[in-house]
Chain A
């Protein structure tokens, strides 16, 4: 039996560990850089001026706070829980990614870095990084799997319009994990002037902690907004998980309210049993990749396997180490949703709410569809609408057999 700690919010420890997860598994060449980021972030975090500057950009450039919206027709449709959407798809650039990018770009500026590198899967993090680089006049290089560049062509063009250089990654399997490998290789080779702006709650310490902190604005706002709307906290939170940054941002401020049920939704692709999925907690086991120990899709020789999801943003064989820890502790439930279920939810949301969701939160909504009907009408549920679906219309059309 697991003894519940008094708090779920003190991690990571000084070495970047969440239980056995996390850490700093990087080449020696990168180690001094990572320590430099850690020190600079600790200093910035304690600095009111940094926080005030960030808050100002979040308010006037990103458009925060994002609304907490009562999804009335979806609620009526399911006939159970009262469903709210946290509208992070209304942020500048159309997803939650920019919350983190704004924080890290201000840090990179403080550190005097002139060149920003990033990895991207769906392109949302690449677009958000290119956006803040344009805003602050920094050079931007984005690594993107050649396969992903094909299926997310509009985002590639957006990055280029924003002045970024997009480098196609053909190594390995040419997807997000390989883009992250190539970004790390770039960083190793450009240690003096370059800052690596990681887009999710993964990578070596301090990234999982730092990205979580920057994304926690989602949960912190939700707390205030739900109290204003309903006079109390929500009963449940639901968010999709690839690396897990939008989910961690929503969940973290609520972790110690143990009455709040928290559910993370992984991508089951063609189904867990098909072997073609991206559900690292459901279908993987602990291993070491990209600087941290976490649950990974891998074979019995420790080779990392390809993930599959219709959503390029969830198509990653790992998950942030803090999620792996919360999974182990049983504080957060992790479930999975197939491509097919996500496509149904994508269409339902578009028709009933006039909101075309990204395929990523469509996974979260598909799980809402499974559990909301059975819950009482006074159950308050918050789903993170972490991105909008404009980028996905071509993928969805293809999946539905529609020729554009």
Chain B
């Protein structure tokens, strides 16, 4: 629907993984957590640590869908100098070395609205952003960002949830592009854990409505969780467990300890190995 197949990093990456017969591993980190430079080093290291796609969090003061771990990451990022323009700068820097790993910005609408939707889309595409997940823009508000994004070839990743019933699914799928993100729990990030059987049923239901890849996130914490999801979905997203590792590697003043980047990337690698160990039983 958007982007052309030769330049669409998300489509190319999922096609390649389908050939390999495995699901994608998608880590989430918060831009500027705990500071711009450390955060950039984590970002830069993620592909080698097994990241197939990357979700880069855009800090917002009022993250109403996030649990304590990502809320705290946002507060650290704010102290670490997070701003939307700097986050785009990080992506631009990343792209000088990696022009293949898709980057999805994840956050809330207000920073984009204040930046200016058209200017943001231009700058984000130019920086090398591939897609957007904007938590507080349901299909009812598509005219705000989803339709302008589609017009310029930026993927607007749709969220489907356990409360998205059959009546809503067509609306949720209608302007979807890139992939569909299934929020595995009715809840906030990093709290309850998801039941793999129920997720499997939900993913199958989504597959009846769309050919897009289905990513699953919220409540995936361990390599085993990630492996279980990788068997039934096209991608597994892990966020809270990774940003918690950032939190665990700060000194008393909240500054990054020397081993922070290594420890975060080591955790990422074990999660990625979990995904890679899984044999697909899904419909592909």
Contacts and interface: CB of A to CB of B under 8 A. Distances in A.
B64 A33 contact: no
Contact of A172 (B61, B114, B159, B188): B61
27 contacts: A23-B140, A24-B141, A25-B136, A25-B138, A25-B141, A27-B65, A27-B135, A27-B161, A28-B164, A29-B65, A29-B186, A29-B187, A172-B61, A185-B65, A189-B188, A189-B191, A287-B110, A287-B113, A288-B109, A288-B136, A291-B136, A298-B114, A301-B84, A302-B60, A302-B110, A302-B114, A303-B111
A290 B71 contact: no
Interface in A163-213: 171-172, 177-178, 181, 184-185, 188-189, 191
Contacts of B164: 28, 31-32
Interface string A9-29: 000000100000001111111
B64 A290 contact: yes
A191 B183 contact: no
A288 B188 CA distance: 20
B160 A28 contact: yes
B78 interface: yes
Interface in B86-136: 108-115, 135-136
B165 A302 contact: no
Interface residues of A, number: 35
A403 interface: no
B111 A189 contact: no
Interface string B52-64: 0000000111111
Contacts, number: 117
A257 B15 CA distance: 64
Contacts of B187: 29, 188-189
The 6 closest A-B pairs by CB, nearest first: A302-B114, A302-B111, A189-B187, A302-B110, A29-B161, A303-B61
Given A26-B136, A28-B163, A172-B62, A188 B114 contact: no
Contacts of B108: 288
B137 interface: yes
Interface string A269-308: 0000000000000000001111101001010111110000
A181 B161 contact: no
B185 to A, nearest CB: 8
B212 interface: no
B16 interface: no
B114 A301 contact: yes
Contact of A27 (B83, B136, B139, B192): B136
Contacts of A25: 109, 136-138, 141
